[in-house]
Amino acid sequence: ILITGGTSGIGRGFAEEFSRRGNTVITCGRREERLQEITAEYPDIITTLCDVSVVEEREALYQWVVENYPDINILINNAGIQLPFDLTKEVDMSGLNAEIDVNLVAPIHLSSLFAQNFKEKAESAVINISSGLAFVPVAVVPVYCATKAAIHSYTMSLRHQLKNSSVKVFEIIPPSVDSELGQERRKDKNQTHGGMPVNEFVKEAIEAIENDKLEAAISQAKNLREKGELLFDGMNERVRK
């Protein structure tokens, strides 16, 4: 199992739990010190440095994984960043490009690379992590929400294109999960996102995967998935800018 963005939050939770269940887990991230921490605490988890926003690093990651771990058969596209944007002013293009590259371009590119390999295996899966905010956006983080809506749409298309292969395509839709997501916009960098504990989310997500639930909205995300735009106005009135 290869997990992107696996040094904290949901990604690390997946890495620890899948490893505990006896899987070979490879996790990548941009922060070398975090990878070293994981190696020290969980020596069975394989770590590698990779910035998935960079096309050359994604290609190098793919080549390294398939050459060194040819039994790879699951990709979890988890890496994500969440930045605030005031859409009434000129946007910061570096932040905009980074968010789109990490949240959307990287999953599309990595999935396309691994799909070629996975189609030759008896069993395999691509697991995309979207968000309840794909269906009810929070306007202060508009690009994040838009990329997650795009991930939902893209996952449907990928699933359709792979329907006659051995590759299963999952979409896991998290609610607010207590992780570091969005720390770039918080004054206190030690403050977490708040929401569902990571271990509870991971438990429900893995249960959905084990039961072949190809689209799984977890906990409160079920309400967002079902009601969508009906909740937009009320939700955004309660969110402070």
Q: Looking at the annotation, which residues are catalytic?
A: 144
Long-range contacts: 207-210, Cβ < 8 Å, 24+? Answer: 208/170, 208/172, 209/125, 209/127, 209/170, 209/172
The closest of 133, 213, 205 to 175, measured between CA atoms, is 133
Element (H, E) at 205: helix 198-210
Q: For residue 139, what is the enclosing H or E element?
A: none
Show the CA angle centred on residue 70, arms to residues 67 and 75, nearest 5°.
105
Residue 149: C-alpha distances to residues 39, 56, 131 (Å): 34, 26, 8
